[in-house]
Amino acid sequence: MQISTLSVLAVGVAIAVTATVAPPRADAHIPESGPTYSASAAAIDLLTGADTDTDAAARAVPAGFAAAAGYQPTLVGGMLVNPLGNCSSPVSLPHEFEIPCKAHDLGYDILRYADRTGAPLGDWARKALDRQLDARLHTACDARSGVPRTFCFTMANVAATAVYWNSARQSYGTP
């Protein structure tokens, strides 16, 4: 396996940044009702829940979302995703990250939809999406072994840290 200089640099940056940027707390408040709990909030809640019910999440996607977003969310690998999404990264990421990135993209698109329709979600929603991406990237590495597994986990740390940093930079607002 050949490792590029850019990948080695990314690993070094990930180690340095990981030491200074903590992920959002797992106990971030998720409202169960009230003015900030909308169809978009319900969809995010279902998409990021521990017992993700993809059928319920698909039904919870707001009615006008597909028309506004320009695509219909689809089920791939047990995850509801943006079929047009991708892992936007300046470094090459493991192919196993494709589906988790597409699911994260769908979540961010729902955040944008909620904002555009006058029902912006609180920081809890973006934090939940980012935590889920982190967990899914690491889970995607489980099928590997040895050095490729270690490299995959390192790249999951790099990607998750970059997402956390960007979200914190944007104060966990609408992306």
Name the DSSP letter for residue 91: S
Give tens-digit pLDDT for 58-114. 788 898 999 999 999 999 988 899 999 999 888 899 999 999 999 999 999 999 999
51/29 Cα distance (integer angstroms): 18
Which pLDDT belongs to residue 91? Answer: 87
Please tell me the total count of domains within the chain: 1
Would you place residue 37 in the very low, low, confident or very high pLDDT band (cuts 50, 70, 90)? low
Q: What percent of the chain has pLDDT over 90?
A: 60
Q: Determine, yes or no, domain membership for 10.
A: no
Residue 15 has pLDDT above 50, yes or no: no
The verdict on residue 124 lying in a domain is yes
The model's confidence at residue 141, banded by pLDDT at 50, 70 and 90, is: very high
The label of the residue with tokens 């090459």 reads: 92
pLDDT at 13 over 80: no
Residue 141: give the domain boundaries.
31-169
Which residues, other chains included, contact 59 with Cβ-Cβ below 8 Å and sequence gap of 6+?
none
User: Does pTM top 0.85 for this prediction?
Assistant: no
Q: Is residue 146 part of a domain?
A: yes
Nearest to 156 by CA among 142, 169, 145, 166: 142
- Domain assignment of residue 17, yes or no: no
CATH of the domain at 54: 1.20.90.10
